[in-house]
Chain A
Amino acid sequence: MKNKKFFENMKRLFNPESVAVIGASNKFDKLGFHVMKSLTTGGYKGKIIPVNPSAKEIMGIKAYPSISAYSGSIDLAIIAVPARFVFQIFDECHEKDVGGVVLITAGFREIEDPEGAKNQEILKQKADSYGIPVIGPNTFGMINFWHNLNASFTPEFSLTKKGDIALVSQSGGMSHLLSFLSQRHNVGYSKIVGIGNRLNVDFYEMILFLKDDPHTKVIALYIEGIDNPMPMIRAIKDMHKSKPVVAYKTGSSKSSNLASKSHTGSMAGRYEIYIGALRQAGAIVVNTAEELMDTAKALSQSSIPDGNRVAVLSGQAGPGIAASDMAERVGLELPPFTEKTQKRINELLPPMAIRTNPVDMGPAWYDASATREIIDVAMRDENIDAVILLIMYASANIKAVEGIKEMLLEWKQRKPIITCISAPAGIWDKEVSFLEENKALTNYPSPERAAQALGNLWEYKKILLRG
Chain B
Amino acid sequence: MKVIEDAVKEGRKTLSEHESKLVLRHYGIPVAKEVLIKSRDELPHAIAQIGYPLVIKGCAPEIIHKTEEGLIITNIKNEDEVYTAFDKVYEKVKDTPKGAVLVQEMVDGKRELMVGMIRDEQFGVAVMFGLGGIFTEILKDVSFRVAPLSKADAFYMLKEIRANKILNSVRGMPAVNLDKLAELIVNVGKLGLENKEIKELDINPIIISGENPVVVDALIVLK
- Tell me, yes or no, whether A binds B: yes
Residue ranges of A at the interface with B (Cβ–Cβ < 8 Å): 227-230, 233, 260-268, 270, 272-273, 275-277, 279-280, 466-467
Contact of A263 among B116, B124, B146 (CB under 8 A): B116
A-B contact pairs, 5 of them (CB 8 A): A261-B219, A262-B219, A263-B114, A264-B114, A264-B116
Contact call B144/A262, Cβ cutoff below 8 A = no
Q: Which residues of A have CB within 8 Å of B152?
A: 466-467
Contact call B142/A272, Cβ cutoff below 8 A = yes
Given contacts A264-B202, A267-B137, contact A233 B146 (CB under 8 A): yes
- Is the C-beta of B143 less than 8 angstroms from some C-beta in chain A? yes
Q: Which residues of B have CB within 8 Å of A228?
A: 122
Q: Which residues of B have CB within 8 Å of A262?
A: 116, 118, 200-202, 219, 221
Residue of A233, A260, A263 with most chain B CB atoms under a 10 A cut-off? A263
Contact call B122/A230, Cβ cutoff below 8 A = yes
Q: Which residues of B have CB within 8 Å of A272?
A: 128, 142, 144
Chain B interface SS verdict (over half):
strand
Contact call B156/A279, Cβ cutoff below 8 A = yes
Contact call A260/B200, Cβ cutoff below 8 A = yes
- Is the C-beta of B14 less than 8 angstroms from some C-beta in chain A? yes
Q: Which residues of A have CB within 8 Å of B149?
A: 280
Contact call B136/A267, Cβ cutoff below 8 A = yes
Contact call A264/B200, Cβ cutoff below 8 A = yes
- Is the C-beta of B211 less than 8 angstroms from some C-beta in chain A? no
CB of B123 to closest CB in A, whole Å: 5
B128-162 near A? 1/0 per residue, CB < 8 Å: 10100000110010111110010011001100100
In whole angstroms, how far apart are the Cα atoms of A267 and B138 in the complex? Answer: 11
Q: Considering only CB atoms and an 8 Å cut-off, how many residues of chain B contact the other chain? A: 34
Q: Which residues of A have CB within 8 Å of B144?
A: 268, 272-273, 275-277
Select from chain B the residue with minimum beta-carbon distance to A331.
B159
- Is the C-beta of B120 less than 8 angstroms from some C-beta in chain A? yes
5 tightest Cβ-Cβ pairs between the two chains A and B: A264-B116, A276-B144, A262-B200, A262-B202, A268-B118
CB of B185 to closest CB in A, whole Å: 12
Contact call A229/B123, Cβ cutoff below 8 A = yes
Q: Which residues of A have CB within 8 Å of B142?
A: 267, 272
CB of B66 to closest CB in A, whole Å: 13
Q: Which residues of B have CB within 8 Å of A260?
A: 118, 200
Q: Which residues of A have CB within 8 Å of B124?
A: 230
- Is the C-beta of B16 less than 8 angstroms from some C-beta in chain A? no
Given A261-B219, A261-B221, A276-B126, 15 other A-B contacts at CB below 8 A?
Answer: A229-B122, A230-B123, A230-B146, A263-B136, A263-B137, A264-B117, A264-B128, A264-B201, A265-B116, A267-B116, A267-B140, A273-B122, A273-B126, A277-B123, A277-B144
- Is the C-beta of B64 less than 8 angstroms from some C-beta in chain A? yes
Q: How many A-B residue pairs have CB under 8 A?
A: 92
Contact call A273/B123, Cβ cutoff below 8 A = yes
Q: Which residues of B have CB within 8 Å of A273?
A: 118, 120, 122-123, 126, 144, 146
Given contacts A261-B200, A264-B202, contact A270 B118 (CB under 8 A): no
Given contacts A273-B123, A273-B126, contact A265 B221 (CB under 8 A): yes
Q: Which residues of B have CB within 8 Å of A467?
A: 152
- Which residues of B4-41 are within 8 A (CB) of A? 13-14
CB of A238 to closest CB in B, whole Å: 15
CB of A113 to closest CB in B, whole Å: 25
- Is the C-beta of B187 less than 8 angstroms from some C-beta in chain A? no
CB of B148 to closest CB in A, whole Å: 10
B202-223 near A? 1/0 per residue, CB < 8 Å: 1010000000000000010100
Q: Which residues of A have CB within 8 Å of B122?
A: 227-230, 270, 273
In whole angstroms, how far apart are the Cα atoms of A467 and B144 in the complex? Answer: 20
Contact of A280 among B136, B137, B146, B200 (CB under 8 A): B146
Q: Which residues of B have CB within 8 Å of A227?
A: 122
Select from chain A the residue with minimum beta-carbon distance to B120.
A273
CB of A123 to closest CB in B, whole Å: 23
Contact call B221/A268, Cβ cutoff below 8 A = no
CB of A462 to closest CB in B, whole Å: 9
Q: Which residues of A have CB within 8 Å of B116?
A: 262-265, 267-268
- Which residues of B72-113 are within 8 A (CB) of A? none
Contact call A268/B219, Cβ cutoff below 8 A = no
Q: Which residues of A have CB within 8 Å of B136?
A: 263, 267
Q: Which residues of A have CB within 8 Å of B157?
A: 276
Select from chain A the residue with minimum beta-carbon distance to B13.
A261
Given contacts A276-B145, A280-B146, contact A264 B123 (CB under 8 A): no
CB of B171 to closest CB in A, whole Å: 23
Q: Which residues of A have CB within 8 Å of B114?
A: 263-264
